[in-house]
Amino acid sequence: MESYKKLLLANKAWVKDKLDVREDYFLRMADDQTPEFLWIGCSDSRVPAEDITGTEPGELFVHRNIANQVIHTDFNMLSVLQYAVEVLKVKHVIVCGHYGCGGVKNALSHKHLGLINKWLRHIKDVYRIHEHELEGIADTDRRLRRLVELNVQEQVWHLAETSMIQHAWHTDQRPHIHGWVYDLHTGYLNDLLMLTPDTRIDDIYKFNFDD
Ligand SMILES: [Zn+2]
């Protein structure tokens, strides 16, 4: 059988499973979505957001790109963020990276990979900002793991620097922004940091909403 046909067959079995539990499963699901979480994760096929968090359809609003980047000129990510924060009014935004990330690994190399180099360039910036700490780590694997963590941390701060997040913090005291790293070897999530609406950010990134 061609491999894609397996997916269509699995879909039929999945529908049956859901209907066996609740016959109105899809009727309820089609009504509306009220997810509490926005998930910004890596496109890597080994990090399925719903599976690793035990969430069901309807619970996570998801954006994925290579190496879970939050780039201020990325209209795709920004549109997802705006819709999640302003319309869906999510309570939590989660940036989830993962150890062994190919994007982060390639950013550490000098390989010319074409267009993807432009995207990974942002991770090289993270490296430069934390160069002192990273170059103090002799073991290559450990250095890569640390860069994965620092990359997540930087993307969390990038979110806090957006006008959407600052406005929601100012008017609605939400969302919390979380930085997590998924470990492919154990299946566990490593909870790295959380920013709350009272977080102080660098003055240069602040927007005024009072006038
Ligand atoms: Zn990745």
Q: pLDDT at residue 194 above 70?
A: yes
SS3 132: helix
Average pLDDT value for residue range 85-97: 98
Q: Please tell me the predicted confidence (pLDDT) of residue 72.
A: 95
Q: For residue 52, give every residue at least 6 positions away whose Cβ sits within 8 Å of its Cβ, in sequence order, or none.
A: 182, 187, 189
Q: Please tell me the predicted confidence (pLDDT) of residue 28.
A: 86
C-beta separation of 191 from 178 below 8 A: yes
Average pLDDT value for residue range 44-73: 97
Distance 18 CA to ligand 1 centre (A): 30
Q: Please tell me the predicted confidence (pLDDT) of residue 75.
A: 97
42 is catalytic: yes
Residue among 66, 137, 133, 128 at smallest CA distance from 98: 66
Q: Return the amino acid letter for 63.
A: H
Question: Of the residues 28, 46, 121, 170, which is catalytic?
Answer: 46
96 is catalytic: no
| Ligand 1 is an ion; residues with CB less than 5 A from it | 42, 44, 101, 103
- Give the model's confidence band at 139: pLDDT under 50 very low, under 70 low, under 90 confident, else very high: very high
- Give the model's confidence band at 31: pLDDT under 50 very low, under 70 low, under 90 confident, else very high: confident
User: What pTM, to 2 d.p., does this model score?
Assistant: 0.95
Q: Please tell me the predicted confidence (pLDDT) of residue 202.
A: 96
Q: Please tell me the predicted confidence (pLDDT) of residue 211.
A: 60
Give the span between the Cα atoms of 167 and 162, in whole angstroms: 9
Pair of tokens at residue 115? 């267009």
What DSSP designation does 63 have? E
98 is catalytic: yes
Measure CA of the first residue to CA of the last residue in the chain; give whole Å: 64
C-beta separation of 91 from 176 below 8 A: yes
Cis ω before 35 (30° cut-off from 0):
no
C-beta separation of 182 from 52 below 8 A: yes
Query: What distance lies between CA 135 and its chain's CA centroid?
Result: 26
